[in-house]
């Protein structure tokens, strides 16, 4: 009886998320086995440190300060304000200038707002429609204040997107792994002041993307607006045309 109950609950959750039953579970299981090749570039976010790392294999190429979700624990709902932990795949670089944050999605006061996500967003595959994006609240960087999205300063994400392309992996962790890339090792690397390699994985950006969100046909995504994440904090935006924001 218990196993039947669990199966019914799993089906219900999959339906509510708009995903085929078992799709997210199998994808997560597969991703858990992932590890980078020595020449492979990927992104790592360490929630406890409020940092995003651009890496190549085991090497750290660049470090950025970020803001993360204000919620804690395991992410279960699109509106729980938690930044999820796991291995994800970059979907695309999006023009976020016309994305709209609607505070009503989170039962918060205020009117829908534009210009809260900065100019660019890095969309990654996830059932909550979250993204990495810029912000109109630079003071929030380094804090746990978003509705689930990962927020960077506008100048930082503008630099970062030159080194990001669809298919890259994004690893989000609660805390750093012990080992050679410990805090002490990182501080030593930062002290050397090494810049990013001159050869980046730059991709052509969408010329005219003016929609309000991330993944078409999914739950509205979270936005960060600290004013009323993504509009400032990782909250969901209002769907415009077929897309919604993160």
| CATH number, position 192 | 2.40.440.10
Same domain membership, residue 27 and residue 90: no
Predicted confidence band of residue 196 (pLDDT cuts 50, 70, 90): low
Average of per-residue pLDDT across 195-213? 43
The pLDDT value recorded for residue 181 is 52
The pLDDT value recorded for residue 183 is 53
Range of the domain at 13: 1-33
Phi, psi of 118 (to 5 degrees): 75, -160
**This prediction's pTM:** 0.69
Same domain membership, residue 133 and residue 12: no
Look at the chain and report how many structural domains it folds into.
Answer: 2
Phi, psi of 207 (to 5 degrees): -70, -35
Predicted confidence band of residue 107 (pLDDT cuts 50, 70, 90): confident
Cβ neighbour number for residue 51 with a 10 Å cutoff: 18
Same domain membership, residue 191 and residue 80: yes
Average pLDDT, the chain: 73
Tokens of 145: 């204040």
Q: What is the pLDDT of residues 161-180, one digit of tens each?
A: 999 999 999 999 999 987 65
Same domain membership, residue 225 and residue 164: yes
- Quote the radius of gyration of the chain (alpha carbons, Å): 18
Predicted confidence band of residue 185 (pLDDT cuts 50, 70, 90): low
The pLDDT value recorded for residue 178 is 78
Same domain membership, residue 83 and residue 14: no
Same domain membership, residue 92 and residue 4: no
Predicted confidence band of residue 17 (pLDDT cuts 50, 70, 90): very low
Same domain membership, residue 163 and residue 64: yes
The pLDDT value recorded for residue 227 is 30
Predicted confidence band of residue 159 (pLDDT cuts 50, 70, 90): very high
The pLDDT value recorded for residue 66 is 98
**Strand partners for 53:** 44, 63
Give catalytic residues, as residue numbers: 133, 149
The pLDDT value recorded for residue 64 is 98
Average of per-residue pLDDT across 114-122? 95
- Whether the per-residue pLDDT at 33 is higher than 60: the answer is yes
The pLDDT value recorded for residue 72 is 95
3-state SS of the chain is CHHHHHHHHHHHHHHHCCCCCCHHHHHHHHHCCCCCCCCCEEEEEECCCCEEEEEECCEEEEEEECEEECCCCCCCCCCCCCCCCEEEEEEEEEECCCCCECHHHHCCCCCCECCCCCCEEEEECCCCCCEEECCCCHHHCCCEEECCCEECCHHHHHHHHHHCCCCCEEEEECCCCCCCCCHHHHHHHHHHCCCCCCCCCCCCCCCCCCCCCCCCCCCCCCECCCCCCCCCCECCECCECCECCC
């Amino acid at each position: 009886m218990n196993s039947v109950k669990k199966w019914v609950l799993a089906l219900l959750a999959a339906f509510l998320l708009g995903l085929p039953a078992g799709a997210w579970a199998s994808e997560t299981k597969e991703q858990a086995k992932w590890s980078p090749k020595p020449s492979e570039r990927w992104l790592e976010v360490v929630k406890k440190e409020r940092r995003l790392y651009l890496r190549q294999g085991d090497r750290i190429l660049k470090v950025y300060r970020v803001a993360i979700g204000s919620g804690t624990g395991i992410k279960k709902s699109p509106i729980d304000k938690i930044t999820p932990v796991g291995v994800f795949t970059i979907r695309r670089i999006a023009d976020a200038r016309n994305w709209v944050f609607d505070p009503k999605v989170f039962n918060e006061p205020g009117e829908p707002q534009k210009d809260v996500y900065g100019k660019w967003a890095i969309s990654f595959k996830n059932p909550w429609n979250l993204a990495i994006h810029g912000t109109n609240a630079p003071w929030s960087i380094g804090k746990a204040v978003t509705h689930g999205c990962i927020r960077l300063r506008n100048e930082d994400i503008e630099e970062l997107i030159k080194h990001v392309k669809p298919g890259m992996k994004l690893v989000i962790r609660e805390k750093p792994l012990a080992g050679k890339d410990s805090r002490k090792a990182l501080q030593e690397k930062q002290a050397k002041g090494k810049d990013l390699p001159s050869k980046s994985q730059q991709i052509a950006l969408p010329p005219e993307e003016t929609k309000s969100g991330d993944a078409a046909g999914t739950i509205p995504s979270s936005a960060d607006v600290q004013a009323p994440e993504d509009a400032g904090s990782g909250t969901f935006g209002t769907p415009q045309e077929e897309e919604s924001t993160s």
